[in-house]
Amino acid sequence: MTQFLTAAFYKFVELPDYASLKEPLLAFCEQQCVKGMILLATEGINSTIAGTPEGVHAVLAYLRQDPRLADLQHKEAWSDKAPFYRMKVRLKREIVTLGVPEANPSTLAGTYVKPADWNALISDPDVVVVDTRNDYEVGIGTFQGALDPNIHSFSQLPQWVSQAAVLNPVTGKKPKVAMFCTGGIRCEKSTALLRTQGFDEVYHLEGGILKYLETVPPEQSLWQGVCFVFDERVSVGHGLEVGEYGLCRACRMPISDADKLSTLFEDGVSCARCHAVTSDTQKAGARERKRQWDLAKARGLDWVGASK
């Protein structure tokens, strides 16, 4: 059985010429039969790609030829099915959208904490632990005792920070804060955000949840549940083993076996979360995509239209 290597990476670095990087990079990825998504912005690069080990490593080597990306770090995982069906390189204002230009991780990111030291930090009762991810991600797994801002998108985090009573100063001193996210990129921006607001002791999990799950033994772990990932694996657990969640093809949210028992669930068309917000026309289109997907699968073919 063919195994696919997935590489996730990001770097906050000044790339004023980012637009000119797009076409050569896309062409090289396609030449290597690598698929996935690469985001480019003036503030850096953010990506998850997958393919053969040779193809993925060739793309990483290509990127590291640029002196600004020479020390680019990446995380690897394996899967038995293709995590992506297309290759896209997109130009963005931010590689992760927060909407606060002064929160520059290149100069203001908080203190990195290695996975081996994370348990001790978040077990400190004087530390406020914040999960910076979206509500549907938190819903299937998080760290013990972590606060859920209950946001639908990362750009809503600044408003939560401005209103969260738990972040108010105590006897004139702002609290220590530990923040985490899937791979590290959102919590780098989150800690930069807090530092713009006068927080001096701000920490974030180096390598994110994925590095923690990869390196911390289950018996020592303070993680509960699984971690949502933005590819066809949907979720991973300790050792980065693929979890049991599926994906609603309509709203791209994780769904469990119990969710599939809902009368509002229709494979490839809707789930209980999105059934009421999609029109009959949208559902009909989804049914046709599902039919095309099933037909291609029966013929042993990939159908790129199956993935949004």
With CA atoms as reference, report the closest residue to 218 among 208, 206, 226. 226
Answer yes or no: are the C-beta atoms of 85 and 306 closer than 8 Å.
Answer: yes
Among 181, 227, 248, 271, the active-site one is 181
First to last CA, the chain: 26
Question: Helix, strand, or coil here: 154?
Answer: helix
CA 73 vs. chain centroid, Å, equals 15
What does the DSSP assignment read for 46-114?
EEEEEE-HHHHHHHHHHHHTSGGGTT--EEEEEESS-S-S-EEEEE-S-SS----TT--HHHH--EEE-
Answer yes or no: are the C-beta atoms of 226 and 236 closer than 8 Å.
Answer: yes
| 187 given a catalytic annotation | no
Answer yes or no: are the C-beta atoms of 178 and 130 closer than 8 Å.
Answer: yes
Question: Helix, strand, or coil here: 160?
Answer: helix
**Which distant-in-sequence residues (6+ apart) come within 8 Å of 101 by Cβ?**
none
> What backbone torsions phi and psi does residue 186 show, to the nearest 5 degrees?
-70, -35
For 183, the token pair is 């791979």
Residues with catalytic annotation?
181
